[in-house]
Chains A and B, each alone.
Chain A
């Protein structure tokens, strides 16, 4: 059961997804000890809600990908513990949202599904990270552009794709994460959505998402394989990604299915460094 949360819905009044976000907040507060943060009042007066958000884990409910509630949470420096987006939930649950601003049957069905899933997610046992059996030692080359410093691991076991994700291969396992380029660009990372343990990922398939107030970055897996571990501390401390996206900020581990085939489409340190430098220069002049 989802309880003792501070709930921040976007509460958008002109789209059904926004109306649904507000309805879910209401329902969560009716059925359990949760408190709603009104996004409109929060903009003009923050004392009360800063206190509530400081004392409780925060659930952010965005209606659509404009992410108004997430951006508000970022502006107010809130720590987001959980987050859903109604339009994404509608896709997951295969429900067509109505364009009507009054809740229709399909909207109510979706609300029930989301509430059930939210309550169940609370009852799930926490994932205990596996004891690391191997150590990943990184040796860095650094590149500075203006005030930004980018570390790039130069170990030969580390492979990159041109989408700024790395994989450190040991045996038939790889640990995966993003490079400094990604975390510098996103700036303060607010939220991490991990892949599921057991997910079968294609090469260049999505292996989690990280999000800041600026943007959402989809992690693109350098290798194909099955997810065997996720860095669960990141769910509560996504800022570890900003501190060091290679060490404490790694994202997932996979069991590789086609190491040699996949390597053909990957690059090593030298090439990645060149590509990254060019991207940094193009972006920052």
Chain B
């Protein structure tokens, strides 16, 4: 899918909460083995949720975009951990940023790819001229059932991207996007259930790899590109192994995915996972670099994007903190504090 008129990223930013828990600490409590899918994961504070983190990322994205927030005509928040079952998060973000009420706003849900669906909607709205700027946010405080293997990785974070017409003000422009979706029951959560369920046999080959690789290959075919044309790649990061394996299967060198590979040190931030990886990659990319980004959402689908970095990255980058600033700012908590912060204990 290519937009009829050229669209780019005018601003981007991420937010990661300060608290971390080591996978080994979760393992110590539940008596599981010593091989963990990641080192540690980010834990939101007791007064944080997907919406507060979305606001943090959105504020920095506006600072980096150097635009008047009143010109943002659409906000889409992708999340599977909305603080309200019914009440949009986007309107709270808009109010916190002082965005005008002449606004399109909705929340998206598609497991871990809800954030990149928001990308596509904003790209289309900008390309069609319906809005001047559109903001897409992926934000989650992901929860795993205590002792479940998902508990080792389910983490918290947010990333915000503002799209506008391609110009000298855009940091990177969109070459195209391609999606691949099927009805695959690998992971789900029923209403009023606090934790998701998953069907482990489905999670690897028929789910993550099939969708990620199909979307990536479809995009490359459509844009007439090969893996060698990309300087960087970002894949959805449910654990450390999967994105590394996806890169290998596509013939993309490990070096190209390293800058955006955040999962070992912050965990799987669900809707924010690949957007945060893209933000971390933009933190180090040079003008002219081409970046492949592929999300994955259980249920299941993948959205692939190709971005080409522009000159504006050089002067806009220092206007907001790098992802590394959030990664390096941390306080370790034990399992007891973690259960309190994430409200796992019923009073």
Q: Do A and B come from one complex?
A: no
Binding site for A on B (CB under 8 A): none
Binding site for B on A (CB under 8 A): none
